[in-house]
Copies of this chain bind each other. A is one copy, B any other.
Amino acid sequence: MSAWMKQFTLPSRSRGSYLITDTVTKELPEIKSYKVGLLNLFIQHTSCALSLNENWDEDVRADMSDTLDRIVPEAGPKGEALYRHDAEGPDDLPAHVKSALIGASVTIPIKDGKLQTGTWQGIWYLEFRAAKHSRRIVATIQGEKA
């Protein structure tokens, strides 16, 4: 078995859910050299997240962002303040909570040089801050090479 690591930066984005499967496979041609293994993608930030979800209809991605806004609103139903931590803007604390709910990393099996995601499963980057941010990912592969 061998372990391999690379860091790369995602294209800068503002609030939204983004399909990054193609970015990941382009950045990591090494996936092809593993017979059996696991890819871990780890985002080094606390107001965005990585996930696996539907890879076809972009409406799912828009609905995801809106639904998370309803689950973790910026203010209460009458506009009242909800958070102690508000110095970085009303979207900052909700972004930290969404990040905890969705998670900073995904682990994906590799077999015969291919990610073993299901037919409808894509890799998502969810940005929770309103302003554009540039996010770094650490990719680690551990496994047996072909």
A interface residues, Cβ below 8 angstroms from B: 1-5, 7, 36-38, 40, 42-46, 51-54, 57, 59-60, 62-64, 66-68, 70-72, 82-85, 93, 96-97, 99-109, 111, 116-121, 124, 136, 138, 140, 142-144
Contacts and interface: CB of A to CB of B under 8 A. Distances in A.
Contacts of A82: 63, 66-67, 70
Nearest to A71: B71
Contacts of A42: 107-109, 116
Contacts of A72: 67, 71
Interchain residue pairs A-B with the least CB separation, the first 9: A44-B118, A59-B84, A59-B85, A3-B36, A1-B1, A109-B138, A63-B83, A51-B100, A52-B104
Nearest to A60: B85
Given A44-B117, A54-B96, A104-B106, 9 more contacts: A3-B143, A44-B119, A53-B96, A64-B96, A68-B97, A70-B82, A100-B102, A105-B106, A109-B140
